[in-house]
A and B are shown apart, each in its own frame.
Chain A
């Protein structure tokens, strides 16, 4: 019996362990969407507690509720507009004072509130003694101690949250900061004016925000009560001037200072602390990780380990899936027997879907491991250190270390990388970062590299790291590709900062969370979320594209009169009854290949490919690569799928299926292989990236991004191919 449906919003600072609490409450029942109009991820999940159904919304992590970042505005608007039944503020108990700042804002906003003192085990282990009953009394808000990653205290937290949601008086018993005799009377006066003229529900909140000259609030009130807004603004401005003349600082600074004073007062009474030990271990690790001389080498080594481990563990799995795909193709193809060579359905299933989608799917283990590694860097707290360490290099290109975090995320996927640029302070920094982000080679490009490397460069171990970890030539090639991407990003960013996006480096602030051992559950959820997107994409968009490509490669079919020619040649070779059997077989294979080629060239895609092929000729691409390159615009991994289709449609079905890699190796040179990798690295970003860039930066910048990257790819690949083919 479900009596009611409650909505719980989770608020909290970044790094407060909000996500672990969210995971502990909802488990795997999560869905990710976007807040309307902005690309801030909206995470929600369902849960049941007793007989109550809960909808849990994970608000973006924020330090405050001002209007300085999209996240804060989104969190605030959700609380104001969607009016959740209760808000749970996740507080890092080992860092109470700072974390309670958001709580004071939530109390001022007047939402039904419960505080979860998370990581309470860490706080206790570090010598904090928190009298939570006393603190709850001082703040007028229930407090529950939790340990998110162990699932401790979650039941109690939900009990408390539901009690508050059902209690109509919960908000009334909350305390809020008193701003003292210089400000409080003026604030009351303004509150009265807001209540009278505009908003009766949260007059104090709006009055405070008016004193802070908060742009979003002014916009909101202008819409709510256009006839009184000027009067309110005039009064607020008068009070702001008055406060500034008395206190010597702007009103918003005084208000922030008083909020911290209010928190500090409560904590002095309820918290005893032996010594400041919270960061002891973290600081020790940092003395090595962020060391002036060791920082960069350690960073480079970590990056290399990420790639190396990904391949060391991922490649055997990829090979396994690949042979599985081969068996599946044989089994499905076998259903038609000898007579089925001409079956359209068989060609669609085997040559189209299994070869096309399968080529993409077999790389899932690699993608999974890469996402796992990135999740580890994020969850452990190293990401922020990397930003600090890399700042020196980033500064040289006119960006700062913080821009590096979106770029690192871009190694997984460009789209979340572009979204992560929102943490950057200025539009100039954001635009520069967005423009060069696609040069950070994303996970979807990995299958292309692995396919090419497997085809042209026999794998071998070139050295052993620390005497044990084998490093293959493939890992070095890949590292080279990634480095080329990074180097190009640096050069392009520098050019943009010197021309279109001129300006001084902007000041930035970034919190360094204490190092934490990531939890298995957290890593698993992070990894799975992103891997699932990859699989889903393969099963939907890529499937659809592959079917279209298959059809384009299948029809129109070569006329009978042309096919007869090949039959005659085959018959002639066989009739010849050459004593050397091998030579006969070779001749037959040559004829088969020629027939396959003729069929493809006759098809729609062959004709289209031939039309565009001249454009790509200087890069060393034939028409097949050219079409696959264009197909890669839909999604980078389509390249692999499309090559799979192109090299299997029209193939002689009786022949034992030759690996795609072997076919490529027979057809192209290693130099062409390298050119394919280079072009795939640089050329236009995928459709989804373009769409996100349009949303985040506008279509002009998206257009610039597509054009400059494609032009750069063409020019560089042409140079490499032309110079390379003369040298070799």
Chain B
């Protein structure tokens, strides 16, 4: 869980990631317990990789554990990731 030691780069919001980039999930900011738990159940737990496939004019399409998900614009601002 504590991958801060492994990956020293500070987390950034998902909105800063580029299409085709692979990033590591670091957490969610300004989110209630429910939302964080739901993301975890989808497979988005700290340290998990995700790839950005499409960033429309707001929502993103990302690949998590082999599935494609649309993350709404409210979501991409809250999700924190680290490059690589």
Contacts and interface: CB of A to CB of B under 8 A. Distances in A.
Nearest to B35: A507
Contacts of B68: 279, 282-283, 286, 511-512, 514
Given A253-B45, A260-B43, A388 B37 contact: no
Given A257-B46, A384-B70, A68 B1 contact: no
Given A101-B43, A276-B66, A395-B73, A252 B57 contact: no
Contacts of B43: 97-98, 101, 260
A509 B1 contact: no
B17 interface: no
A652 interface: no
A117 B58 CA distance: 36
Contacts of A290: 54, 56, 61
Given A98-B67, A507-B75, A250 B61 contact: no
Contacts of B34: 68
B15 to A, nearest CB: 13
A95 B66 contact: yes
A63 B65 contact: no
Contacts of A260: 43, 45, 65
A276 B64 CA distance: 12
A282 B66 CA distance: 12
Contacts of A327: none
B57 to A, nearest CB: 5
B16 interface: no
Interface residues of B, number: 36
A504 interface: yes
A224 to B, nearest CB: 24
A55 interface: no
A459 interface: no
| Most chain B C-beta atoms within 10 Å of own C-beta, residue among A256, A278, A387, A506 | A256
A282 B69 CA distance: 13
Interface in B59-84: 59, 61, 63, 65-75, 78
A506 B38 CA distance: 14
B45 A278 contact: no
A97 B78 contact: no
A392 B1 contact: no
Given A253-B36, A256-B40, A256-B41, A248 B66 contact: no
Contacts of B38: 66, 68, 509
B72 A508 contact: yes
A509 B39 contact: yes
A256 B73 contact: no
Contacts of A68: 34, 37-38
A249 B61 CA distance: 26
B41 A507 contact: no
A581 interface: no
Interface in A235-265: 247-250, 252-254, 256-257, 260
Contacts of A511: 67-70
B57 A392 contact: yes
Contacts, number: 137
Contacts of B57: 292, 391-392
A23 B67 CA distance: 25
B63 A213 contact: no
Q: For chain A, give the interface size range.
A: 35 or more
Contacts of B74: 400, 504-508
A511 B57 CA distance: 18
A97 B64 CA distance: 11
Contact of A257 (B33, B45, B56, B73): B45
B75 A505 contact: no
Nearest to B36: A253
A510 B45 contact: no
B70 A387 contact: yes
A388 B1 contact: no
Given A63-B42, A257-B40, A278 B66 contact: yes
Nearest to A250: B33
B65 A98 contact: yes
Nearest to A96: B66
Nearest to B56: A292
Contacts of A507: 31, 35, 71-75, 78
B56 A256 contact: no
Interface string A173-210: 00000000000000000000000000000000000000
A509 B41 contact: no
Given A257-B1, A388-B61, A249 B46 contact: yes
A20 interface: no
A509 B69 contact: yes
B30 to A, nearest CB: 9
A256 B70 CA distance: 21
Interface in A333-377: none
Contacts of B12: none
A546 B41 CA distance: 52
Contacts of A295: 56
A401 interface: yes
Interface string A493-511: 0000000000011111111
A604 to B, nearest CB: 55
A512 B43 CA distance: 15
A64 interface: yes
| Most chain B C-beta atoms within 10 Å of own C-beta, residue among A98, A248, A254 | A98
B56 A388 contact: yes
B71 to A, nearest CB: 6
A249 B1 contact: yes
A504 B77 CA distance: 13
Given A260-B45, A400-B73, A97 B66 contact: yes
A387 B33 CA distance: 26
Contacts of A247: 1
Interface of A: 63-64, 66, 68, 95, 97-98, 101, 212-213, 247-250, 252-254, 256-257, 260, 276, 278-279, 282-283, 286-287, 290, 292, 295, 384, 387-389, 391-392, 395, 400-402, 504-512, 514
Given A286-B54, A505-B73, 7 more contacts: A98-B66, A257-B46, A292-B56, A504-B74, A506-B72, A507-B73, A511-B70
The 4 closest A-B pairs by CB, nearest first: A507-B74, A256-B40, A507-B75, A508-B72
